[in-house]
Structure 1
Amino acid sequence: MLTGLLCALGAGLMWGLVFIAPLMLADYPGIMLSFGRYAAFGLIALVPALLDRQRIATLSKADWRAALKLSLVGNLLYYAALATAIQLADAPLPTMLIGTLPVVISVCSNWSAGHGAESVAWRLLAPSLLIILVGILCVNGAELAQLKLAAGHTRSLSDYALGCVIALGGVAAWTWYPIVNARYLKANPHISPSTWATAQGLATLPLALTGLLGYGIYLKLSGGAYAFPFGPRPLQFIGLMLLIGLSASWLGTLLWNKASQHLPTALLAQLIVFETLSALLYAFIFRGTLPGMQVLAGIVLLCLGVVFGVRTFQHQIP
């Protein structure tokens, strides 16, 4: 259990970095950040693939089809939605909408498990989920109030609303991903977490390169202003894409795969709050401000929700 918790924490710390990239590269389209990140992920995955080529060669066609589907939905579609939402609505609110994932995934996972080994009684699951949900609402309420009071705010209400809608699309994509990914790993214990992370990176590469090519053609035909492919600040763009491609994509996926093998999916889902908390920390550091009391109260509730969730599932984990 401790191994699973530490791996989930490490994955959350890595994934929190991706919420800052759209703010650091605000003049880049969200779709370019997604394609750039995952092209970097795929290129970086070539190195461990070479070192792990014997185990990579044992993956079946079914394994590669699963990796391709997981990469498309959980990587490209999810991050394109997230990056676009952050640019439209700023980091904290999309962060906290994505932060509903612990509740949404736990409910979906527990519901789909039926009466299986991973299922838990709703009366036991409800307290931790309720605490996490209240924490999310606390932070969301604070961010909405800040938006209304901010003088000269550059984001219109329509942009803010559109960002929220797109963030909800990201929630849907990443609700599907961890449930399917965890169950595939548990059904195929011969696949190591590192091999599966590398396989997803390799599956992502052709998708990302195809997306980059398609977007470049679209810009050419439509006369878009974006300086394809590396934009107005190529060194910053390439450096940041390589950083999050290595840390958030490959290492984060490896740690999450490891956690998926050790913890029930409904508990694992609640541990996504580590990503939310990390993203909030990085966002406030980037802003150069401290969170208010309401945000701090929400953060405390999120942490308490995790503690309750761990205690709920403790009897199920060897």
Structure 2
Amino acid sequence: MIIKKSFRTIALAITMAVVCSCLGFSSIAVANTISTKLEKKGNGNWFVTFVSEKPIKKLAFKSSPDNSRSKRWAPTSNGYQFEFVDEVESLVREDGSAFTEATFHLTPTYTALPKEYAPFTPFSDGSYLLHTGRFFACADSCQPSLNKWYLTIVTPESDNIILHGRIYQGSIGWTAFDEGSKVYIGHGEPIQSDHFVSVIDELLPEKLLHQMSTQLPELMDFFADKMGALGYRPALFASFSSTDDGRHGHQGGTLPGQIFMHWYGKKSVVEAIDVDELFWLFSHEVAHLYQREGADVIDTADSWLHEGAADYFAGLAFESILSKGYLSQKIK
């Protein structure tokens, strides 16, 4: 009887597994959930805490362009270490034991990452633009199909949190998707124009502000005419931060519905402004908005397609608006 019962139990288990498979269910337990909380204290210190529903041996990060977390994230308790294996940065316990929570003190200064957006982009008044994608993490490993992330941001009540064009105070929790987005934390309020909802650093020079106020709307109109109106007003963030080591430069980028530009070092906004190069930067980033889902490239090996197209579109805009033969020079 025991043998027959065992066989019946096994048969029932196999039958249930087949039925679940046919109905699209899985007999495997639901994937573990990692929740992320980013917190800015009243003294300006930043912390990030990862909480796992179940004990894990490894916390893997979705984005790992390098191993810089080990240099810029300080654990608030002993026994943790970072690993960088096969281009994936992970967190483990030094003794190999399981854990459910880990907190780190962050370095909220600007740092350039290879093929990735900086986690913190400071403004001159102490505000920040935060890239949520830098804080996406998974239990053990991040699967390519995973695109949902649970985040909370907590700040002093005096700060504004600007997410997806809306202003919040104190805290906000939401589910992020895909590559994440930029979130503004600071005292500024967005300026709403016909073309953008924007937060622009007050220390950017008049020459640069004039270019932004005149050329960016022209570019929006140009691309809307060629590729169709967006149907919404994208967010524009323009920031500046000083440096103490002589570094200077500028970088720009886009995420769905957002353009962000950052200048760092005094020379980047005083001595190094090239009118033509800045127009090219503006054109390239605005072009990404109008590519719509065409810019959603997952494999970096294929990024030449939408990046190359954005450069070519920038050249077309240059020829139409400034008519300087700049595209021909670029192609050569």
Structure 2 length-normalised TM: 0.28
Structure with greater proportional helix content: 1
Higher alpha-carbon Rg = 2
Higher-RCO chain (CA-CA 8 Å, sequence separation at least 6): 1
